[in-house]
Structure 1
Amino acid sequence: MDNDFGLQCLLAFSRVVPASFLAFYQVDSRLQARDFRLLRMDARTHRDYLCHYREFDPLQPALCVDSGRPVLPLHDAMTRQPREQRQVYQGFLQRHGICDVVEVIARDQGRPVAGVSLLRTVELGRFATRELDCLQGLQGLLELAARHAPGARETVANPLANLTAREQEIALLLREGQTNKDLARQLDLSLATVKTHLIHLFRKTGARSRTELVRRLFP
């Protein structure tokens, strides 16, 4: 799917249901949102979300799939979330003046392929029931359009595919912030062996730091 398709989706949604900010994204094979297209959203807000709060978002594609609902309001999603995570995410929303969010997910053969986030500041207030009903109708159109969009059937590259099983284990633990000693203990390896695996990971990805390595393997 190209950026023009994403922008057209956002413009169509914004004409039917008013929103302060909107974001279109594709969903990869690991149910992660990627290739965002933003409308009226400050780049700093989006960067703050990606760098610090994505993991606390109760409207992530994987969690929307678990809910079984293609249109999911923030309030309903938060009821399924642990209290500590909910408080962290609420802090992010309040800092950026966001009072309500609705997620709309499009599927192809049962798998999520794209989504639209509609966010409101206090000036617009929360989404009304009639507006959620409108989004239910738009969801069907989004789903149909996403199936026929340019590049919709392209296979999403998995950065982990070129790694060995052991390297994938290490990569997943690195994403959790584990130290070399933690890796050695959890995987029953020597520190020297852990360092060797890390060298291989840096070479394969071209990363120069652990932070960059995680970012490249889990975009």
Structure 2
Amino acid sequence: MYLSASEQQALRGVFTLLARDECGEREIRERLGHALLGLLRADQFASFVWDAERGGFGSRVAINMAPANLDTYAQWHQHHDPITFVLQSRRRATRVTEVMPQRELMRTPFFNDFLARDGLHWGLNLHTFDGERALGDLRIWRRKERGDFGARETLMLDLIEPAFAGALLRARQRAQAPRAAAQDIAASPWASLSAREQQVARAVREGLTDKDIARRMAVGVPTVRTYLRRIFDKLGIERRSTLAGVLPRD
């Protein structure tokens, strides 16, 4: 496929965007949407994430579409949509006219009461999955006077799909990492220590003696040693030197 200089530059920009690991899933879809409007000479863009448990599309991102009209999609039109689930089943870039002739689509309430209100006429969709889990979709539309998308635009969108899926997966993993780390800490032996026991353990890590710890905490040395025995039992260790190595860093 021959690409013009401007198309090559735009495509490089898309891949550069998708290679960055600084954006969340929603921002990736929004930034890509702006890039695709230029690359594919399109007018409107929308993106959703299919929620199989809820049985609906959510996490909406849209460009050049009226929010109120999109609200009607969420409330009614997505449940009476004659094309999107067919497009979703393709798992590849697909023109709307491949799954329903344009004249037939134009006779549906979905077209007249939803698409036409924002000037959406010719459509190209890509629904991206990781196995059976939906990652996000790309719904690109043109006004009537621009004409339908062709094999050229479809192929470019298919070329982008692996990088798009990878960017979304990495963003999801980054978002989940802090929660996983917090769960690991909560499940660790450290979490079984009381606040006073953790205070003693940190003081040991600083190299304080039992007497120093007792002075800091305003308790007797025997109390400090009682705390230490409890700490050793809970952490399954026997020596102070070992204790310093198993503590999480603040």
TM-score of the superposed pair, with normalisation by structure 2: 0.51
Secondary structure of 1:136's counterpart equals helix
Structure 1 counterpart of 2:8: none
- Take 2:25 and 2:167, find their aligned partners in 1: how far apart are those partners? 12
- Quick check: 1:33 aligned with 2:54? no
Contact 1:20/1:124 (<8 A) preserved? no
Which residues of 2 match residues 169-180 of structure 1 at below 5 A? none
Query: Share of identical aligned residues, percent?
Result: 17
Structure 1 counterpart of 2:147: 125
- Take 2:158 and 2:51, find their aligned partners in 1: how far apart are those partners? 23
Structure 1 counterpart of 2:92: 70
- Quick check: 1:90 aligned with 2:111? yes
Q: Which of 67, 72, 81 is residue 57 of structure 1 equivalent to?
A: 81
- Take 1:114 and 1:14, find their aligned partners in 2: how far apart are those partners? 17
1:111 to 1:28, Cα distance in 2 relative to 1, 3 A: same
1:152 to 1:77, Cα distance in 2 relative to 1, 3 A: farther
Deviation of residue 7 (structure 1)?
A: 1.5
State the aligned residue count: 149
Contact 1:104/1:116 (<8 A) preserved? yes
Q: Residue 133 of structure 1 aligns to which amino acid in structure 2?
A: L
1:74 to 1:129, Cα distance in 2 relative to 1, 3 A: same
Consecutive unaligned residues of structure 2, counting only runs of 5 or more, are 1-23, 177-250
- Take 2:86 and 2:150, find their aligned partners in 1: how far apart are those partners? 22
CA RMSD of aligned residues (A): 2.8
Deviation of residue 2 (structure 1)?
A: 4.2
1:117-172 CA deviation, whole Å, 9 max, x = no partner? 10111242211221111111122221221211246886xxxxxxxxxxxxxxxxxx
Contact 1:106/1:115 (<8 A) preserved? yes
- Quick check: 1:106 aligned with 2:128? yes
Secondary structure of 1:89's counterpart equals helix
1:65 to 1:121, Cα distance in 2 relative to 1, 3 A: closer
- Take 1:6 and 1:25, find their aligned partners in 2: how far apart are those partners? 9
1:15-70 CA deviation, whole Å, 9 max, x = no partner? 3212211112222234532111111222233123223322222343x43343x342
Consecutive unaligned residues of structure 1, counting only runs of 5 or more, are 155-219
1:159-195 CA deviation, whole Å, 9 max, x = no partner? xxxxxxxxxxxxxxxxxxxxxxxxxxxxxxxxxxxxx
- Quick check: 1:149 aligned with 2:171? yes
Higher CA-based Rg: 2
- Quick check: 1:5 aligned with 2:28? yes
Deviation of residue 108 (structure 1)?
A: 0.9
TM-score of the superposed pair, with normalisation by structure 1: 0.57
- Take 1:53 and 1:35, find their aligned partners in 2: how far apart are those partners? 16
